[in-house]
Every structure is written in structure tokens, then in C-alpha cells.
Amino acid sequence: MNAKTSSTVTRFVDATWQHSIVPALTEYIRIPNKSPAFDPEWERRGHMQAAVELLDRWCASVPLGHHDRRIATLPGRTPLLFIDIPATGGGGTALLYGHYDKQPEFTGWAPGLSPWEPVLRDGKLYGRGGADDGYALFASLTAIAALEKAGIPHGRCVVIIEGCEESGSFDLPHYIEALQEEIGRPDLVVCLDAECGNYGQLWLTTSLRGMLPGTLSVDVLTEGQHSGAAGGIVPSSFRLLRGLLERVENATTGELHQALRTPIPPESLAELDAAARVLGTDIVNRFPWVAGAGPATEDARQLLIDNTWRASLATVGLSGAPDVSNAGNTLRPGTSAKLVFRLPPTLDADQAGRQVKALLEAEPPSGAKVAFELETPQTGWRAPPTAPWLKSALDRASRRHFGKPAMSMGMGGTIPFMKMLGDAYPDVQFMVTGVLGPKSNAHGPNEFLHIDTARKLTACVADVLADLRSV
């Protein structure tokens, strides 16, 4: 791509973000289309349909040549937006992926901010779902349209935007099976649902941790009792639950059971070494710590290893207890905790789930009723070695649009579709990247989309698609 055509691409991308994408994303954020796991009544409420129709309407405004586009629907499944854009000059096939379903509201939004009312402030668009992952459709189509505007040939592009990712993508395999012939065999997967270590360069995700969600319940009574009358006779369900968690997680160190460990490839360690040198203390400072709090170590390399290749456990929900402002002196009959284990990328999630369930349910303390109800175990993913052409294209794009070289590292989150594609197409190449950088806070309060990064990332995608055509 010469300087003239590159300038045309950049101008088109910048103008589209300013005049078209930001206004459309603003409307998208207002739609409370929570993922099916968080809104079982999603179909009746109609928010999911409203969101996918908004995306589809925006697509109609993009100056693309002939293409096929439709909202695909299967009974009882969240709608999927499917777009097939023919090649304009031969070359390989790119599959561009994103999702439009959202996490629930969460609490703690700063004054003037909220999940469903977008706010544009200091170059950031605040609101639920803008960065995770509403922008993906807009960036993908804009990148392709920019190439056509500049007269740069591109290969065939297939765009898939699903509505179930935040629930583990349990709808997606049904669509992939139904659309298998139309999708064909991709040469490159572009996923825009990942993190970035900073906002100053292009970051590529080379591995994703798996996920093991489930609910641990401990019941000791059929109804609550006076804590004075029962205390010392009836064991606390919360204490028993704490003890059960010690079977899988050391409360002092946070280290998890050996069944949840795997070796770390030397190449991944080398990537993390380089990333740690670039990010330094930003690895810690990106989080809103309370005064005096911090990680167990300040070793940047070790923190990245723990976040990307070690298992971790988060207790994301508790049931069975009233709010502290309404808590009586009652020994409660039971306690339940929603647990989310993050697993090393290469660990089999189904096997890990069976082992964790057995550890938690064996020999219930005090004869309590103990159950660990697994949800959908999701095995992680590790990218194949990056082809020389793609490595060069990514670095060239990062230097052109960000002014710095591209970086690679693993990511602590989970994107189920990457594992599906890696298994189905073992030779496919991956460009997994995103805009979820420091303090962007997907899933939590004050989520924001860093617009300048998204704009530059869009231009990088265009560059890589242009290079795919020439492979």
C-alpha cells in the first residue's frame, strides 16, 4: 500500500468514525440487550432483535460494492448478523468476528455515567457494550469499505456478529453448522473482542484462558434459626462453604489445585517477557485499587504469567444472605456462591470441571447438602505460529497507524469462538485484537470505548486485509 492509498484509507476511516460510527454506537449503547444467561426473557423483551436490527440498518449506509447481508435466525436462538462480501481482486478469505450481546449493568458507575445512557467524554464513549463488543461490526465493515474507497483489492470477507458470546456462545455452534457451506474455509480470522496492553500500539492476543463457571451450594437447614439458639449446634453454611473452597484454592496465596495447572510454552514466556518490559507498572496501575491494596507481587512478568497461563478463581455472586442493612440475628439455612474459574489455555475444561466437581462434593462436611452445578465449561485457545506474511503485515500496520511496533501476549479472558475455529480449521491464521485497554472495564462499571484506538485499529485491519489479498 503506497502513501497515497494509505492516506485515503485513513481519511475514510477517520470520517466514518466521526460522522457515522460514534452516533450509531451511541444508539446501540442505549439498548439493554443483556446476554441470554442474564436475561432469560430476552426473546419476549425484544432488546436483542432491536440491537441486531440497528446494526443491520447501519450496514446499509456503508458504501460497499455488491454483498449479501442478512439477519440469520434459528428457533430459540439469538439472531446472528451474517455478511458475505465477495473478493475484489482474488486472494484468501477472511472471517471477521464480533458480538453484540452485553453484560449486565453492574453497580458503582461514576456520577454522570450509567450502563444504558451513553456519554462522550475526553475521547471515550462510556456505556455498556460499546467496547465489548459493539464496535466490532462497525470497525470490520469500515475497514473493508475503506479499501474499496481507495481502490485497493481485497479477498473475500465473511462477517459474523453473534448475540450469545457473553453467555459462552452456546448458540453459535448451531449457526456455524447451518452456515458452514456459506462460510467456506477461511484463511484468516479477525477477532476484535480482545484486550490491548496500552492504547499506543497494536496488541495481538495469542492465547485465551478457558472458563469453568458453576454454582456451589451448601445447605444445613430447611429454614433459618435464631443464631443464639442454634449457634454452636448447627454449623454455619458459610463456614462450610469457605472450607470447601480451600479444597481448590489456597485462601492465603490464591494458588489453585494442581489439577488446574499446565506447562507454559517457552514461546509464550518470551512474549510475556517482552510485554512486561513495555507495560511495566501499568499492569498494576490499570486497576482502581483502594488505598493500600495491591497484588501479591510487583513482578510484571509474573503478574502477566498469572493472568494468562495460570488458573484463577473469582466468586462473582452470593445467594442466601440478606443485605447487611436488613440482616437479622439469624443462622441462615444455606449459602450459594457463583464461581468462575479461569483455566490455562491448553487445559481441557470438561475434564477440569469433573475434577473440581468431585473435589467440592466429596465427603460433605457435617453431612451438609453440597452441590456444585456446572454451567458450560469452555476450553481455552492458543494460536498457531504466526505466518511470516501476517507477522510482517501486523507490525507494518501498527507502525503506520500507531507509530510503534505490534506486540503479542496472552489474554486472561475467554472467547469460545476462537477454540471452535481453531479446531475446525487447524491451518487458519488469527488476528485477535481489541480496544479493551487500561481502565476500559468491560463487564464492570464505567466501561468505555477509547475512540482513537478503535479508529487506528480499524485502519490496521484494513491494511492486513489488503496484505491477505496478495498472499
Q: Are residues 202 and 66 in the same domain?
A: yes
Q: Report if residue 133 sits inside a domain.
A: yes
Q: Report if residue 83 sits inside a domain.
A: yes
Tracing cell 456455524 back to the chain, one arrives at: 176
Mean pLDDT of the chain: 96
Could you give the angle at the alpha carbon of 402 between the alpha carbons of 189 and 94, nearest 5°? 15
Is the pLDDT reported for residue 417 higher than 90? no
Q: Are residues 175 and 257 in the same domain?
A: no
With bands split at pLDDT 50, 70 and 90, how would you rate the model's confidence at 46? Answer: very high
Q: Are residues 219 and 193 in the same domain?
A: no
Which amino acid is residue 193, in one-letter code?
A: D
Q: Are residues 27 and 161 in the same domain?
A: yes
Look at phi and psi of residue 33 and say left if phi exceeds 0, alpha if psi is from -120 to 50, else beta: beta
Q: Are residues 314 and 413 in the same domain?
A: no
Q: Report if residue 338 sits inside a domain.
A: yes
Chain segment 18-41, per-residue pLDDT in tens = 999 999 999 999 999 999 999 999
Q: Are residues 111 and 30 in the same domain?
A: yes
β-strand 312-319 against 334-343: which pairing, if any? antiparallel
With bands split at pLDDT 50, 70 and 90, how would you rate the model's confidence at 6? Answer: confident
Q: Report if residue 63 sits inside a domain.
A: yes
Spatial separation of the C-alpha atoms in residues 431 and 398, rounded to whole Å: 13
Q: Are residues 363 and 384 in the same domain?
A: no
Q: Are residues 53 and 192 in the same domain?
A: yes
Q: Are residues 204 and 215 in the same domain?
A: no
- Host H or E run for residue 149: helix 135-150
Output the domain CATH number for residue 460: 3.40.630.10
Spatial separation of the C-alpha atoms in residues 52 and 80, rounded to whole Å: 8
User: What is the pLDDT averaged over residues 444-456?
Assistant: 98
Spatial separation of the C-alpha atoms in residues 185 and 144, rounded to whole Å: 19
For CA atoms 205, 209, 215, 220, give the dihedral sign. Answer: negative
User: What is the pLDDT averaged over residues 249-267?
Assistant: 96
Q: Report if residue 419 sits inside a domain.
A: yes
Residues spanned by the domain of 98 = 3-208+380-469
Residue 34's pLDDT is 98
Q: What is the value of pTM for the model shown?
A: 0.91
* Distances 253 to 108, 235, 295 between C-alpha atoms, Å: 28, 26, 11
β-strand 407-411 against 203-208: which pairing, if any? parallel
Q: Report if residue 281 sits inside a domain.
A: no
Q: Which three three-digit cell numbers place residue 125?
A: 464513549
Spatial separation of the C-alpha atoms in residues 183 and 162, rounded to whole Å: 14
The count of structural domains within the chain is 2
Residue 2's pLDDT is 73
Coil/strand/helix, residue 380: coil
Q: Are residues 224 and 134 in the same domain?
A: no
Q: Are residues 30 and 168 in the same domain?
A: yes
Chain segment 205-225, per-residue pLDDT in tens = 999 999 999 999 999 999 999
Is the pLDDT reported for residue 118 higher than 90? yes
Q: Report if residue 66 sits inside a domain.
A: yes
With bands split at pLDDT 50, 70 and 90, how would you rate the model's confidence at 394? Answer: very high
Residue 91's pLDDT is 85
User: What is the pLDDT averaged over residues 68-88?
Assistant: 97
Residue 90's pLDDT is 81
With bands split at pLDDT 50, 70 and 90, how would you rate the model's confidence at 469? Answer: confident
Residue 5's pLDDT is 79
Asked if the bond preceding 423 is cis, omega within 30° of 0, the reply is: no
Spatial separation of the C-alpha atoms in residues 142 and 62, rounded to whole Å: 7
Residue 130's pLDDT is 98
Phi, psi of 301 (to 5 degrees): -60, -45
Q: How many residues does the chain have?
A: 471
Residue where one domain finishes, among candidates 337, 358, 374: 374
Please report, rounded to a whole number, the percentage of residues in the chain having pLDDT higher than 70.
99
Q: Report if residue 55 sits inside a domain.
A: yes
Residue where one domain finishes, among candidates 359, 374, 389: 374
Output the domain CATH number for residue 341: 3.30.70.360
Residue 168's pLDDT is 87
Residue where one domain finishes, among candidates 358, 374, 390: 374
Residue 292's pLDDT is 96
Chain segment 166-201, per-residue pLDDT in tens = 998 999 999 999 999 999 999 999 999 999 999 999
Please report, rounded to a whole number, the percentage of residues in the chain having pLDDT higher than 90.
95
Q: Are residues 65 and 192 in the same domain?
A: yes
Chain segment 347-380, per-residue pLDDT in tens = 999 999 999 999 999 999 999 999 999 998 999 9
Chain segment 137-165, per-residue pLDDT in tens = 999 999 999 999 999 999 999 999 999 99
